[in-house]
Amino acid sequence: MRSLAMLLPLASSEEGGGMETPSLGELFPPPFAFDGSNFFEMNRLSLVRIVATVVIVLLMWAGIRATRLIPGRGGGTFEMLMEFVHKQIAVEILGKEAGRRYLPLLATIFFAVLGMSITGVVPFLNIASTSLVAMPLLLACISLVAFIIAGIKSHGAGGYVKSALFPAGAPKAIYVILTPIEFLSTFVLRPATLTIRLMANMIAGHFLLTAFFMMTNYLLISGTSAMKGMSVLPFAGALVFTCFEIFVAALQAYIFTLLTSVYISLAREAH
Amino acid sequence: MILASGAPEGAGLFIPPLFEVIASVLCLLPIAWIVAKKAVPIYLRTLDERTEKIEGGLRRAAEAEEQIAVERAQWAQEIADARAQSGKARDEARAEAQAIVAEARAQASQEAERLLATAKAQIAAEAKAAEEDLRGHIGTLATQLAGQIVGEALEDQALATRVIDRFLDDLEASTVPAGSAGSRR
């Protein structure tokens, strides 16, 4: 069994009716629809993802409807988030003109990551669809394609490959090592780190919350009367970490978007 | 364990199954559409409009202020002009009044002189008439007196006339310088 039980000897030492521990299996629940179909298989996480999508679209719609020249409360929140992506990320990294041009891409990434990650703390959903590799990888690929296109637009295809893989100023022989390293770091490690950072954060957050809730559950249901009182502690921990996970979701959205704009900015500037 | 049944091994965790990729793409599409095609343009448009409104407002305020300053300067100029004009008018009026007074004074003195001269001429004429009158009377009186003194001796008309004329001539020769001097005095 691949689970935290292996890492928690105290919990696993109890035979039988011991405490349930979070496991990776939760991220791969059995399908409930289109089982066996390679294209449209549905499981709990697919459903969470669809719910998140619908909610993001509806909130965006509401935000658009509430946007006025003189901002009200609803439009103000929407604009505040947009302004954060615009001013704090796009304009800050790319400058006024390019920041404006790349805002649609950056805002899409930001809201997608935020919306898909925040489901981890929403009751009854309780899992982030970004804790599966597909969504982070897809977004990382979009980021990769975006900065390659930005580089080609600025320097031409040849110029960009040259500036990305053959940094000027190095002795010719060095390129034998430098070029593979540059290729790896720019075109492989960048999307890979984007993917893994987001995914691992969400998995860790999920496990943390699950562990706290399972501990609360175990102490309250199976514990002796003295132990039942102790269940307050993991529950408080769960509450604290729920708030922390909201912060992490926002932080990951910020980091993902910020790094994408940094990569675009680096591709636009010649070495 | 049913919980762990679907979990992939090792690197499999990082290789998404095809249905996951398709589902992710299908979910990302509406998000990308509403954010990139709707939300961002509306946000940017509102932002631009607001910036324009604020900048326009500030510009208009500055223009209005400038205009007020210009108008205020104009008013000040106009007030100064009016003040100068009224001062000039007052000076002119004063000068005119002075001229009128002077003219009136001159006219009055002229009139006075004229009256004086007329009066003098009248007096002189009256004096002269009185003198003539007096002379006639004196002649008659003297003749009567002389007739009474001389008596009936002087019956001869021609002689009488001659005597009288000579007497008058003498009288005149002796009295005219004294009489004219007396009238002048």
Q: Quick check: is A157 in a domain?
A: yes
Q: What is the three-class DSSP state of A81?
A: helix
pLDDT tens figures, B20-34 = 889 899 999 999 999
Q: Quick check: is A12 in a domain?
A: no
pLDDT along chain A (271 residues), means of 10: 42 52 81 73 88 95 88 84 94 94 96 94 90 93 96 92 86 89 94 95 92 89 83 91 95 97 90 55
Name the residue type at position A234: P
Q: Which residues of A touch B46 (CB under 8 A)?
A: 67-69, 79
pLDDT-derived band at B152 (thresholds 50, 70, 90) equals low
Q: Which residues of B touch A60 (CB under 8 A)?
A: 31, 34-35, 38-39
- Which residues touch A179 (CB under 8 Å, ≥6 apart)? A165, A166
Share of chain B above pLDDT 90, in %: 55
Q: Hey, of B5, B14, B24, B28, which one would you mutate to test binding to chain A, going by the most A CBs within 10 A of its CB?
A: B24
Do the chains contact at A25 and B3, CB–CB below 8 Å? yes
Identify the pLDDT of residue A15.
42
Name the residue type at position A3: S
Identify the pLDDT of residue B71.
96
The mean predicted confidence, pLDDT, of chain B is: 85
Q: What is the three-class DSSP state of A89?
A: helix
If interface means Cβ-Cβ distance under 8 Å, which residues of chain B face chain A? Answer: 1-8, 13-25, 27-28, 30-32, 34-44, 46-47, 49-50, 53
Q: Quick check: is A115 in a domain?
A: yes
pLDDT-derived band at B165 (thresholds 50, 70, 90) equals confident
What residues 49-68 of chain A have any CB closer than 8 A to a CB of chain B? 49-50, 52-53, 56-57, 60-61, 63-64, 67-68
B51-62 mean pLDDT = 92
Question: What's the structural domain count of chain A?
Answer: 1
Please name the helix (run of DSSP H) or strand (run of DSSP E) that holds residue B62, with its range, or none. helix B40-150
**Residue B3: pLDDT over 70:** no
Q: Quick check: is A219 in a domain?
A: yes
Q: Which residue of A has its CA nearest to B48?
A: A69
Do the chains contact at B23 and A27, CB–CB below 8 Å? no
Do the chains contact at A107 and B35, CB–CB below 8 Å? yes
Identify the pLDDT of residue B141.
81
pLDDT-derived band at B1 (thresholds 50, 70, 90) equals very low
CA–CA gap between residue A212 and residue A20 (Å, rounded) = 11
Share of chain B above pLDDT 70, in %: 85
Q: Quick check: is A259 in a domain?
A: yes
Q: What is the three-class DSSP state of A270?
A: coil
Identify the pLDDT of residue B172.
82
Q: Quick check: is A1 in a domain?
A: no
By residue count, chain A amounts to 271
| Residue numbers of the domain that contains A264 | 29-269
- Which residues touch B18 (CB under 8 Å, ≥6 apart)? A38, A39
Identify the pLDDT of residue B153.
59
**Residue B154: pLDDT over 60:** no
Q: Quick check: is A19 in a domain?
A: no
Rounded to the nearest 10°, the torsion over CA B78, B84, B90, B96 is -110
Distance in Å, alpha carbon of A16 to nearest chain B alpha carbon: 13
pLDDT tens figures, B86-138 = 999 999 999 999 999 999 999 999 999 999 999 999 999 999 998 888 888 87
Name the residue type at position A218: Y
**Whose CA is closest to A128, among A20, A221, A52?**
A52
Q: Which residue of B has its CA nearest to A33?
A: B19
Do the chains contact at A30 and B2, CB–CB below 8 Å? yes
Q: Quick check: is A158 in a domain?
A: yes
Identify the pLDDT of residue B131.
85
CA torsion through residues B151, B154, B160, B164, sign:
negative
